[in-house]
Structure 1
Amino acid sequence: MKTFALGTSDLQVPNVVLGLMRIAEMPDEDIRSLVAAGREVGITMLDHADVYGGSMHRCEERFAQAVQLSSSEREQTIIQSKAGIVPDGPYFDFSHEHIVASVAGSLRALGTDYLDVLLLHRPDALVEPEEVAQAFDELHAAGKVRHFGVSNQTPGQIELLRKHVRQPLVANQLQLSITHAPLVAQGVAANMQGLDQSISRDYGTLDYCRLNDITVQAWSPFQAGFFDGVFLDDDRYPELNVVLDRLAAQYDVPKLAIATAWITRHPANVQVVLGTTNPERVRAAAQGSELPLTRAEWYELYRAAGYTVP
């Protein structure tokens, strides 16, 4: 498993992360098997959010009930959670009060004294960055959160926070897969009139994160689009699946590993955040952590997914 520093922090993190947003209704034993499968292949980082599970902190609570980390296991596990979404409404809330209360709820549910990483979950149009800074200062000084980041934010939104927040923002979690890759695709076809791919939808977020040592975390790494099913073995992507099958046979790995490797091959050191509840898929994806796709193979997958290489 490839590891690197998370942003400018001292955390050594794997480039494949186990997301636990779908464990609310799983039996304890199945949750333990899922987490154990990750540990076996070097996935030491877990991704949570306060809203996961149908009710606030439900998945965090289910994880703690099932796994019951010892003190030594807690030290060896990197726990990340998120705050900012209010499902009743819905709306977003980056107020000092909400952030602090959310972290308190996460710590109670997880049965831990601290979060290794807290992300602001989606942008709040009504953000008052001074309040975010106050919340971060309090949480950091109290030892409740060690590192901070964001999710789904543009360079301008991050810069607004950085003007006030003293702690480094070490991660930005964004949707990215072979078939949902505007982060990458716009730059490849920049300045091409009449090509939808050339339209900037994120103001150069990927390059901005690289320039500012902010780790990109890829959520929904196998989703075809915005929650409309996976592209693997999907009739909408016949050419892509032919290439995936061929490369999987060539490298003697599951095609899930090839889909993972398309992301991990990028020199930005992107983390792939898995959402599966199947231990075998966790093991399969982990095989893509260090799989050395060539440039030609990477671009072949990119073109097969429907993107243009001018």
Structure 2
Amino acid sequence: MTLPINHTLPGASRLVLGCMALGGGWNTTPLTQQDEQQAFALIEAALDCGINLFDHADIYTFGKAEAVFGRYLQAFPAQRQHLLLQSKCGIKLGNAHQPGHYDLSKIAILAAVEQSLERLNTDYLDLLLLHRPDPLMEPDEIAAAFEQLQQQGKVRHFGVSNMGWPQLQLLQRSLTVPLVVNQLEMSLYRHHWLEESLLTGMPEGAGCHFGYGTVEYCQREQIQLQSWGSLAQGRYFSARADETAAEQATRQLVAKLAAEYQSTPEAIVLAWLLRHPARIQPVLGTSQPARLAAAVRAEQLDLSRLHWYQLYIAARGGALP
């Protein structure tokens, strides 16, 4: 299946490896040999599974996720031509001196890219995403940053994360390059993006705040929807003491369908996303090669319409209106 992203990155894989778990944890402890071995094994497992797009952010494990990936590219420089790198910027983590906030100013974007390139041990990013909407963002300033980065050959394509369609439209009016990706939280568990279309004009839809029409806008404009949290934080793979009745019913249905399709629970949960006509590109945040191998089996599945709706109804905990 051709994805919207394949118009700009023809070789991009159907699935993406999220690198948030690399680097040994959210702390300032230096990288260890064990961190390096874990990262190298996961990167190789992804490539072996056919995944060639790797998702980073400058803040992941305080920069160590990018740094340990950079060690991989330093050890195997020829691999750079076989993989695609995207990173995100714009979040400033809080500390004792300042609260956590967002910064999409030109100077902040340029500085973040320089630091990411240095950590990743590469000359360019295939994709740069703006990590969160910044209420103080100036679209013309962002456009100037993007133009400079592209002219310098440091970033090839641009996108956003966690933005609704009005923000996308506002930004695009100032840009000379297209926004090619919007990364949103989308999963069988976090299905609010479906609810808003389903409940349009209904009283039940009053509590939906995701951004009416964002999915449809991205479909219309050929903007690749990437889903973070795609595996629903693993809540449908094993029982938890605090699981709700809906979660339990969904978990049991996922197991039943995995047996029926002779596949894995991870693949069923992902196949539910892949079945949507928006051609969603899931980002897999697992740090376990075995779970990665179980998840990529989703690419061989084609859920029936009935099974897709059964999963959706189970996850939402009630019948459709």
TM normalised by structure 2 equals: 0.89
Partner in structure 1 of residue 30 of structure 2: none
Aligned residue identity for 1:232: F
Partner in structure 1 of residue 65 of structure 2: 59
Matched residue of 2:217: which SS? Answer: helix
Aligned length: 302
- Does the 8 Å contact 2:229/2:285 carry over to 1? yes
Establish whether residue 6 from structure 1 lines up as the match of residue 14 from structure 2: no
Matched residue of 1:146: which SS? Answer: strand
Instruction: Work out the percentage of aligned pairs sharing the same amino acid.
Output: 37
Counterpart CA distance in 2 for 1:176 and 1:150 is 15
Establish whether residue 176 from structure 1 lines up as the match of residue 186 from structure 2: yes
Matched residue of 2:316: which SS? Answer: coil
- Does the 8 Å contact 1:31/1:67 carry over to 2? no
Establish whether residue 138 from structure 1 lines up as the match of residue 163 from structure 2: no
Counterpart CA distance in 2 for 1:27 and 1:166 is 40
Matched residue of 2:271: which SS? Answer: helix
C-alpha deviation, 1:199, in angstroms: 3.4
Counterpart CA distance in 2 for 1:12 and 1:274 is 18
- Does the 8 Å contact 2:236/2:265 carry over to 1? no
C-alpha deviation, 1:197, in angstroms: 7.5
Establish whether residue 309 from structure 1 lines up as the match of residue 320 from structure 2: yes
Deviations 1:206-254 (CA, angstroms, capped at 9, x unpaired): 1110011000000011236xxxx73432432111011101110011111
Which of 155, 166, 183 aligns to 2:176? It is 166
Counterpart CA distance in 2 for 1:198 and 1:58 is 38
Establish whether residue 36 from structure 1 lines up as the match of residue 44 from structure 2: yes
Following TM superposition, the consecutive aligned residue runs of length 4 or more in structure 1 with deviations greater than 6 angstroms are none
* Alpha-carbon RMSD: 1.8
Counterpart CA distance in 2 for 1:187 and 1:295 is 18
Matched residue of 2:86: which SS? Answer: strand
Closer/same/farther in 2, CA of residues 202 and 232 from structure 1, 3 Å limit: farther
- Matching of residues 207-222 of structure 1 within 5 Å: 207-222=216-231
Counterpart CA distance in 1 for 2:20 and 2:223 is 23
Greater shift in the superposed pair: 258-267 or 21-30 = 21-30
C-alpha deviation, 1:11, in angstroms: 3.4
Partner in structure 2 of residue 78 of structure 1: 84
Q: Provide structure 1 residue ranges, at least 5 long, that are not aligned to the other structure.
A: none
Partner in structure 2 of residue 232 of structure 1: 237
Matched residue of 2:252: which SS? Answer: helix
Greater shift in the superposed pair: 250-259 or 232-241 = 232-241
Matched residue of 1:123: which SS? Answer: coil
Matched residue of 1:202: which SS? Answer: coil
Closer/same/farther in 2, CA of residues 116 and 250 from structure 1, 3 Å limit: same
- Does the 8 Å contact 1:186/1:198 carry over to 2? no
Matched residue of 1:79: which SS? Answer: strand
- Matching of residues 269-280 of structure 1 within 5 Å: 269-280=279-290
Establish whether residue 299 from structure 1 lines up as the match of residue 309 from structure 2: yes
Counterpart CA distance in 2 for 1:231 and 1:70 is 36
C-alpha deviation, 1:191, in angstroms: 2.0
